[in-house]
A and B are shown apart, each in its own frame.
Chain A
Amino acid sequence: MGGVNVPEFVQELLASSKHGLEGIAGKLSEILAHPVIITDPLHRVKASTAEEVDPDYGEIVIHLHLDQDFEQLFFDCVLSFNGDFHEAIGHRIFFNNQNHGYIFTLLKEADGKKRLIEGYESLIKYAASLCSMQIQKEKEIKAERFQFKNAFLFDLLYGNLKKREDILAFGDIWNWDFLQPHAVLVFAIKDFNYYSSDRQLLQTLRYTVEQALIQNGIQPITFSKQNEIAVIFPKDTDSKNQQKEKEFIAFVMQQAKKTDLNERVACGIGKTYNNPEELYKSYQEAKVAYELGRLLDVDMPAFANMGLETILYKHDLQALKEFYQYVLGDLLNQDEDGELMYTLESLAKHQFDIKQTSEALFLHRNTLRYRMKKIEEILDIKLDDLNNRLNIIAAFKIKQLHNL
């Protein structure tokens, strides 16, 4: 019988791909009698037969020989992991014009590159194409799972799931316990430009938030939409205390500063709900808190603490303007350089604490007291009256919220 004989190791390799990249790495290593490492395009290890490489995979650093580059299918390089250096031959897993990763064959001392390539060039190429198929398959599965998960989170956060049993059943799929109270936190990129590279920043934000959750021992439940990442954040109790959220946010902000996100992340905290079918409210609250926090310059705005602001934001604008005029109108008219207004605004911001205000304004306390007296004269009120203070605080909030 004529025709082509398929070499046995080709069939063996094909069979090994049943066990994913691990299987391919194992079989290839066996045939070549050399350790093999398979990485993704970012050099993160996906599978390895080298003893020194942590099977839970870390990153390896690749040092290229001067005359080599990654664009070649085969290239000589030095890998460093676990503090050791290893000579290796790299092979790009290239498919459909896309780089899917690399196969590295570690060389033993005194091995020549030539020997390895001459005998097994086509074998490695074949293994690479099996790898690319495998990686493609994994991506698809992941995307499918992700889509399914995303759809569930969308429905949860938009109140489309009206029955608790449904939510609990879906949660079970990913081991999410919705019997526990949760609050929704929203992280968003400030001044997001939809039409620019800000979209990539959102990926960074998601990664940062998820890593922060893992490092805090929390299973990440995150959802991204437009310029924001929503986190379904587990709480021990449904208490109003937001300490846990705030610590976590502070941690995220700190991490974000190390990335391209810099200072561009802002957040909002929704109320805690026992019932998962009400979590959509927490999500909307977190977004409202985010917006109000931006307007009022609050770092960690929690919807639960923003009752007055929410009312002032929603209230009829004309009535609010009238109130603002009623409380501060005289001062606006008579304070020509705006100095007294600025002073009063600082006072309101510092709960009318003279010490704090004078420090913030770099003013001598007596100067501050003198100004307060003048303000009292103009407005014809006493600033130590609690009602007056409340009115003034509200008036300044109106000013901020509505850009008066």
Chain B
Amino acid sequence: MTNQVGFIFDADSCIGCKACEVACRNENKTFDGVKWRRVTKISEDTFLSVSCNHCNNPECFRVCPENAFTKRYDGIVLIDSSLCNGCKICVEACPYNAPQFDPETNKVTKCQMCYPRQDQGLLPACVEACTTSALGLVDLETFVDPNAVPAIEGFPDIRITQPSIVFYPQRKKDRYFLNH
């Protein structure tokens, strides 16, 4: 009955092209300063694409004084913005910068994993946009892959929150740099 949809991120495939980030805006029409998904370069070798991770233990949940957050049976964490009083406590509490304060409305919004799309059988916009398949969607209740790891270097501390995201780490590669 309940499951947990989650992201799967292949650090070896991501090229940092930001299509996911902009596809999210294209789909959700978020205000300019509000980024539900962000691509960052964490080293010369590695990019990271992070949105709300729809945690197993969402801290936003625990700290919200208005009880504005809910978790769907598929694990998607939503905020009911009509209940939000703009206190930003959740913004501070989340290690992934998922809750985003929208200065236009004075409320917090966040990634909703495109649940209206998912309810129609479509992938979230970010996943659909990923041309290299670095970003995927899995059901973590049943997902099994011995090559997957719970975090990679550069990803925030997953303890406490238990984010619904798994990773494939980078493989070893051969490099030649000029002597400089």
Contact = CB atoms under 8 A, between A and B. Distances in A.
A289 to B, nearest CB: 10
Interface stretch (A134-142, A280-288, A323-331): A280-288
Interface stretch (A37-45, A150-158, A244-252): A150-158
Nearest to A278: B67
B6 to A, nearest CB: 10
A295 B61 contact: no
Interface residues of A, number: 26
B56 A225 contact: yes
Nearest to B71: A158
B4 interface: yes
Contacts of A314: 93
Q: Pick from B1, B59, B148 the residue with the most CB of A within 10 Å.
A: B1
B113 to A, nearest CB: 15
- Interface SS, A side: helix
B45 to A, nearest CB: 23
B58 to A, nearest CB: 7
A170 interface: no
A281 B64 CA distance: 10
B159 interface: yes
Given A158-B70, A159-B67, A226-B4, A288 B140 contact: no
A295 B69 CA distance: 27
B178 interface: no
Contact of A194 (B57, B62, B70, B144): B144
Interface string B137-149: 0001101111010
Interface string B24-67: 00000000000000000000000000000000111101100001
B73 A151 contact: yes
B143 A194 contact: yes
A162 B4 CA distance: 22
A195 interface: yes
A198 to B, nearest CB: 11
A238 interface: no
A237 to B, nearest CB: 23
A291 interface: yes
Interface in B55-104: 56-59, 61-62, 67, 69-71, 73, 93
Given A158-B70, A162-B67, A284 B57 contact: yes
Contacts of A288: 57, 59, 62, 160
A147 interface: yes
Interface in A15-45: none
A284 B61 contact: yes
Contacts of A147: 1
A160 interface: yes
B13 interface: no
Q: Size class of B's contact patch?
A: 20 to 34
B73 A285 contact: no
A313 interface: yes
A288 B160 CA distance: 5
A285 B57 CA distance: 9
B1 A284 contact: no
Contacts of A277: 67
B63 to A, nearest CB: 9
A154 B2 contact: yes
Contacts of B73: 151, 154
Nearest to B147: A195
Contacts of A195: 143-146, 148
B51 to A, nearest CB: 19
Interface in B124-180: 140-141, 143-146, 148, 159-160, 162
Contact of B1 (A150, A159, A194): A150
A226 B144 contact: no
A225 B69 contact: no
Contacts of B144: 194-195
A225 B2 contact: yes
B1 A158 contact: no
Contacts of A294: 159
Given A150-B2, A151-B1, A295-B159, A284 B58 contact: yes
Given A159-B67, A162-B67, A194-B140, A281 B62 contact: yes
A160 B57 contact: no
Contacts of B146: 195-196
Given A159-B67, A291-B160, A292-B160, 17 more contacts: A154-B73, A158-B71, A159-B70, A160-B70, A162-B67, A194-B140, A195-B144, A195-B145, A225-B56, A226-B4, A226-B56, A226-B162, A280-B62, A284-B62, A288-B57, A288-B59, A288-B62
5 contacts: A150-B1, A151-B2, A284-B59, A287-B56, A287-B57
Interface of A: 147, 150-151, 154, 158-160, 162, 194-196, 225-226, 277, 280-281, 284-285, 287-288, 291-292, 294-295, 313-314
